[in-house]
Chain A
Amino acid sequence: MSKAILYDATMCIGCKQCESACAQQNKLPYDDTVAAESVQSAHKYTVVLTKNDKFMRRLCMHCQKPACGSVCPVGAFHKTSAGPVVYDVWKCIGCRYCMVACPFNQPKYEWGSLNPRVRKCIMCPDRIAEGKQTACAEICPTGATKFGERDELIAEAKQRIQQNPSTYKPRIYGLNEVGGTSTLIIAAADVEDYGYPASEKLGETPMPEYTGRVMERIPDFIPLWTLVLGGIYWVSHRREEVAAAEELEKNGGKQ
């Protein structure tokens, strides 16, 4: 069973304690200036956005089948069985393919660093291993950010929407988007208004499948294409030999 985060925007009061707890957990600077920043960056993994007096959190979606994990040439990203999509800084060579490929644009880069790392929410894997909640869920005073089993959180989200159909938009963002994510969002507003990519644009196909369809053919393609190329080489050079032999015969063996 894998863990997930359910964010219920209707319960959020915009106190930004999740931001500061996240910063503390990941040893990032956090002060009033950082708190005022409304974009995610290498030093701000999560952000609480405000629009029309309604709040919305952004953080890594922790896809069930993450694009970052599939594109990374050195496998620096991977989805653990516990749920988080984690990053191994030692492996990273800095190609930034993860940033280009991520459908939610979550990986951020340390552009000013001479030994830059990719930064994003990693769902506190160390805390999860200790049986604790993520830092943001633990500190949330209203329970807007809730940590738990993905299946149970989905059931709970469905229940909340059912009980208050006038409050919520009738959907769980992350349930099926790009094959499902471990961050789930329910809200009174459209998540798209806060910069989340539209569900119709994302589709329900896990991103790695788009390249997988091509990549899975390569192991067959290599031997087949080698045979074809070798065959062409053999035929075209054999023809030359035959022509030379025929020439020799025509001349009656005379050189």
Chain B
Amino acid sequence: MKFKLTFWRVVFIVIMILGLYSTYVRYLRGLGAVSNMTDQFPWGLWIGFDCLCGVMLAAGGFCMVGAVYLFNVERLHPVVKPAVLTAFLGYVLFIVGLLFDLGRPWFIWHQMIYMNPHSVMFEVGMCVMTYTTVLFFEFLPNVFERLNWEIGIKWIKFFYPVLIVAGILLSTLHQSSLGSLYLIMPEKLHPFWYTPAMPFFFFGSAVAVGLAMTIFESTQSAKTFGRQLELPVLNTLAGALLVALWVNLLLRFEDFFHRGQLSAIFKPSYEAYFLWLELALTYVIPIVLLSFKKVRLAPKLLYFASLSAVLGFVTNRLNIALIGFEQYVGYHYVPKWTEFMITLMIVAIGFAAFAVAVRYLPIFQAEHEETLEEPGVVVGAGVLSHAGD
């Protein structure tokens, strides 16, 4: 077995080296040395991206589980396993990200004994912890299948209804609660983003991103792992995404209207530029694209539309976490390069773990099929896939 140095592997190695250096700075020099966070800006990129976006990007898991097992949309069955895998990895990495951001991460278990039920953060923490456990059990059949351990699969199948309902309940709670985190700062967060409806918007965007991420993931894995997804599946997801985007858009503008912001959002200002970027990426580009049936049937354009929607919602959450506070604080927060490196390292580990899981586990195979290894299936750019052996 020889190890080939591809472009993406070089990128991965560079990110890992710089990320490990940043990790060293984080734990041996402190939060002040590794980040540009200050007393005025106590939450930075890690809360904005790793936490708020990370949890949103992992929403595909509960969306697809809900669609297939709760609503019985059989057509979508092929995307459940990769979606659950992404969600599981996403939540584990979210917790890893938290260990960087928390000032005293070794006390993270305190929230299980010193509970404060009034705290939104406490609720999010408990939900994330239990939901990660649920995802672990939803993911476990892949390992059992690989090991051909029928009893294990049977047991999980037996508890599946409980896992499904618990998973969706917990997701509803914490996806929306991430928005509730900001409800206590009405005078700090810019009126473009502060709204009492934030919990609803966070949930709505999670559903839309769940769909968009599943499309993105399916089309991306088609490229990376040389596996083709049936068009009807993509078409169904694309239609659902279009509806989800419209619902989000209409509610968003109803909210602008209700709070008397409708004229303010069209006046040029620092915040308005970021809002426009967000609205263009989230709604204008994907809605226009997805409105054409041709696009919904063309994987390449679907890939582009879903990527745009995902980036749009990411911009939305970064606007809420970072841009929306700059006017109040009175200065611009720009993350330090080491902050970026730690975020990039976590993302890179996610990609690598996905590639490894796909390589060794029957993620892309239908349930209860014979899981014979096909060496030809895994090609090329998967960061750690052994394309050369």
Residues of chain A having any CB pair with chain B under 8 Å: 40-42, 67, 70-76, 91-97, 99-101, 103, 105, 108-109, 111-116, 197, 201-203, 207-208, 210-215, 218, 221-222, 225-226, 229-230, 232-233, 236-237, 239-240
Contact = CB atoms under 8 A, between A and B. Distances in A.
Given A70-B119, A214-B180, A215-B120, A232 B70 contact: yes
Interface string B26-38: 0111111100011
A41 B71 CA distance: 54
Given A93-B105, A215-B180, A114 B123 contact: no
B368 interface: no
Contact of A111 (B30, B110, B164, B181): B30
A115 B169 CA distance: 36
Given A93-B102, A225-B169, A236 B70 contact: yes
30 contacts: A72-B116, A73-B111, A73-B119, A73-B121, A73-B125, A74-B114, A75-B116, A75-B119, A91-B110, A93-B108, A94-B103, A96-B42, A96-B43, A99-B39, A100-B43, A103-B188, A111-B32, A114-B29, A116-B31, A210-B183, A213-B196, A214-B199, A215-B120, A222-B173, A226-B165, A229-B168, A230-B165, A233-B69, A233-B70, A236-B72
Given A93-B102, A111-B37, A225 B172 contact: yes
B70 A210 contact: no
Contacts of A112: 30, 32-33
Interface in B152-178: 161, 164-165, 168-169, 172-173, 177
B274 interface: no
B351 interface: no
The 9 A-B pairs of least Cβ separation, nearest first, read: A94-B103, A111-B32, A75-B116, A73-B122, A99-B42, A236-B72, A74-B114, A73-B121, A94-B104
A111 B184 contact: no
B185 A208 contact: no
Contacts of A76: 114
Nearest to A237: B72
A213 B118 CA distance: 10
B203 to A, nearest CB: 12
Contacts, number: 158
A101 B184 contact: yes
Contacts of B32: 111-112
A214 B181 CA distance: 10
Given A93-B104, A229-B165, A202 B187 contact: yes
A101 B185 contact: yes
A74 B173 CA distance: 19
B118 A197 contact: no
A96 B117 CA distance: 17
Counting chain A CB atoms within 10 Å of each CB, which of B42, B70, B173, B199 scores highest?
B42
Contacts of A208: 118, 184
B40 interface: yes
A74 B111 CA distance: 5
A33 B102 CA distance: 30
A113 B71 contact: no
Given A75-B114, A116-B30, A109 B120 contact: no
